[in-house]
Amino acid sequence: MGAVAVCSGRILGEEVNTRNNRPVSIDWHQVSSHAEQALAANADLERSTVHAARLLKDARVACARPCEFCLAGLKDACVRTVVWTAGKGLIYIDRID
């Protein structure tokens, strides 16, 4: 699982999850290990778009929907849009500003 923040074609930051934390079984005590949290802590994300993607070991794309804590952190960091993979070739776009 990784996340990249982009604004005006410029990469502002990129992070990966530091622990395996599937979206269906999130360990709420470990949300600080999420890539989105690291992005919010380490880069100025104002007016950016955050792209989150999850790749499985067999290279299939899976769900990277940010958890509620990450969405709140990205909103606090003034991120405008989050794009996340949903598996089966789908992506979702959430406007959070």
Site of interaction with Zn ion (CB under 5 A): 31, 34, 67, 70
**77: alpha, beta or left? (left if phi > 0; alpha if psi -120 to 50):** alpha
Beta carbon nearer to Zn ion, 12 or 15: 15
Beta carbon nearer to Zn ion, 9 or 24: 24
Smallest separation (angstroms) from Zn ion to the CB of 13: 16
Q: d(Cα 63, Cα 56) in Å, to the nearest integer?
A: 10
Beta carbon nearer to Zn ion, 6 or 67: 67
Smallest separation (angstroms) from Zn ion to the CB of 73: 8
CB 82 within 8 A of CB 91: no
Smallest separation (angstroms) from Zn ion to the CB of 48: 17
Handedness of CA 76, 77, 79, 82 (dihedral sign): negative
